[in-house]
Amino acid sequence: MRRSFIRLIAGSVLACWAIGFLVLFSYARSQSWTEERARRDGVFLVFQLLDLEPASNRARRLSELEPHSSVGLALLTPDEATRRVGRPIGPGDQIPHKVSPQQQWYILVFEDGQGALAAGPVNPAIPSGARPIGIVLAIVGLPLIAGLIAMRVEQQLRKVEHASQALAVGDLGARVKIQSGQPNELAANFNAMAERIEHLIRSRDELVQAVSHELGSPLSRLRFHFELLEYQSEEKRDDRISAMNRELDALYELVAVLLSYVQSDELELERVEFDPIRGLTDVAELARLETPDDRTIDLECVLPVSASVLADQRLFMRAIENLLRNAVRHAGNRVQLVLTDDENYIRVSVHDDGPGIPESLREKAMTPFVRVEADRSRKSGGVGLGLAIVSRIMDRHGGRLEIGDSPLGGAKVATLWPRRT
């Protein structure tokens, strides 16, 4: 980091010097070109005025014009003009003549051939005022500005470096402090990344802890059944195998729920506008078919003829499927699926006539792997992920999950899907 910063400072200073000299050169070049053109135009004007005069009157006329000229003026005889140019000349010739690499004159021959006008230099030196301005700007001003900017950048980089080092050693709460009124895009992006990393790591830890616990019990029971098989009679062995099949079904359901929980946060959203009525009807029918034979559930759908939802269709159906399974698991004998169309949301609610969820436990019910009522959950199944999955899906869509009391006497769980992204 320190070496990179030194390179940044050196590069900034060199760049500022280059910019300063470029400004100096451009300014001087522009001024020089403008003044050169003005001088040249003035020379030709003087020449035209003198060319109109008789040869005998040109010296007097030149003495009148010379004080108003910005270049040197001199009358030459034909021989003097030829010697200066170094070749034969004729009436009307207008010949640029370099006295030195830095000075250019003009030799202008009068139309009557009786002499010529020497004028120059027409190309001025760099304006004296440009030198100190450019030099001060190049050597002092711009590097100073670059240094201040670089110091500011280094401060921001140092904060990000310290936060990243803390994050690397396990401090998941490490963030870059952003002062009010001083936007810092780098810090904001780092903080967003750190939030995401913290969320993923905590989710992983929750998942590992819950999986080890949830898989441990059915696997232990399976092992117990296997150990007893060889000691069982033929008649009891069939019962034992049936119990093992039930444990395997529970394991399959657990793995499916765990995969659904992970995918609810990792699947890429593909928002489309669709009519959910047919899909909701199918999901409700599937919930009826999955109801155990020893239970009778009256599952009623209160749905309009048509509706329109803007969401990821897979996750939308997965959310409602989890709500229905959760309701069927805890209901007495009635479950109701309702869709209503609000001004800003499409509201899909699931009601049941079960024991409900106490208000003090509703927030906790959305936490992964948390059973609100442990005794009831053991009897009815579940691993405490149903509402957590739905809550994640709603967060990703910018919607809401609400838990309340149902007119049926049990719980009402509503998903609010925003109309626009």
pLDDT, the chain, mean: 77
Which has more confidence, 316 or 120?
316
User: Residue 21: is its pLDDT beyond 80?
Assistant: no
Give pLDDT, residue 10: 57
C-beta separation of 330 from 351 below 8 A: no
CA dist 102 → 74, 94, 135, 279 (Å): 20, 20, 22, 87
Confidence of residue 128 (pLDDT cuts 50, 70, 90): very low
Confidence of residue 375 (pLDDT cuts 50, 70, 90): very low
Do 410 and 353 share a domain, yes or no?
A: yes
Do 3 and 146 share a domain, yes or no?
A: yes
Lowest mean pLDDT across 43-47, 55-59, 133-137, 326-330? 133-137
Largest CA distance in the chain: 148
The b/e string for 330-352 (b: 16+ C-beta within 10 A; e otherwise) is bbeebbbbbbeeeeebbbbbbbb
Give pLDDT, residue 269: 81
User: Considering 171, 201, 217, which residue would you say is the last residue of a domain?
Assistant: 171
User: Residue 155: is its pLDDT beyond 80?
Assistant: no
The C-alpha atoms of residue 47 and residue 87 are separated, in whole angstroms, by: 21
Tokens for 249, please give them: 């079904």
The helix-helix angle for 58-65 and 2-51 (nearest 10°) equals: 140
User: Considering 171, 191, 212, which residue would you say is the last residue of a domain?
Assistant: 171
pLDDT tens string 73-115: 888 888 888 888 888 888 888 888 777 767 778 888 888 888 8
User: Residue 374: is its pLDDT beyond 50?
Assistant: no
Give pLDDT, residue 190: 78
What number is the average pLDDT over the span 122-142? 55
Do 147 and 13 share a domain, yes or no?
A: yes
User: Residue 28: is its pLDDT beyond 70?
Assistant: no
Structural domain harbouring 198: 174-266
What number is the average pLDDT over the span 34-46? 73
The C-alpha atoms of residue 283 and residue 188 are separated, in whole angstroms, by: 42
Which one, of 351, 334, 329, lies nearest residue 415 by Cα?
351
pLDDT tens string 276-321: 999 999 999 988 888 877 788 899 999 998 889 999 998 899 899 9
DSSP-H helix ranges across 270-332: 277-289, 313-330
C-beta separation of 389 from 318 below 8 A: yes
pLDDT tens string 331-347: 999 999 999 988 788 99
Total tally of structural domains belonging to the chain: 3
What number is the average pLDDT over the span 248-275? 75
C-beta separation of 309 from 273 below 8 A: yes
User: Residue 23: is its pLDDT beyond 60?
Assistant: no
Tokens for 42, please give them: 């003035």
Do 275 and 242 share a domain, yes or no?
A: no
Which has more confidence, 33 or 58?
58
Sign of the CA dihedral with 259 first, then 262, 264, and 268 last: negative
Do 140 and 244 share a domain, yes or no?
A: no
DSSP-H helix ranges across 267-400: 277-289, 313-330, 362-365, 374-380, 386-397
Which one, of 24, 8, 351, 289, lies nearest residue 156 by Cα?
8
User: Residue 199: is its pLDDT beyond 80?
Assistant: no
CATH of the domain at 317: 3.30.565.10
State the pTM of this model. 0.49
Give pLDDT, residue 146: 65
Do 9 and 158 share a domain, yes or no?
A: yes
Lowest mean pLDDT across 37-51, 86-100, 201-215? 201-215
Do 77 and 209 share a domain, yes or no?
A: no
Do 101 and 180 share a domain, yes or no?
A: no
Which one, of 111, 76, 113, 112, lies nearest residue 97 by Cα?
76
CA of residue 69 relative to chain centroid, distance? 63
Confidence of residue 263 (pLDDT cuts 50, 70, 90): low
Integer-rounded Cα Rg, in Å, for the chain is: 45
Tokens for 235, please give them: 């008649």
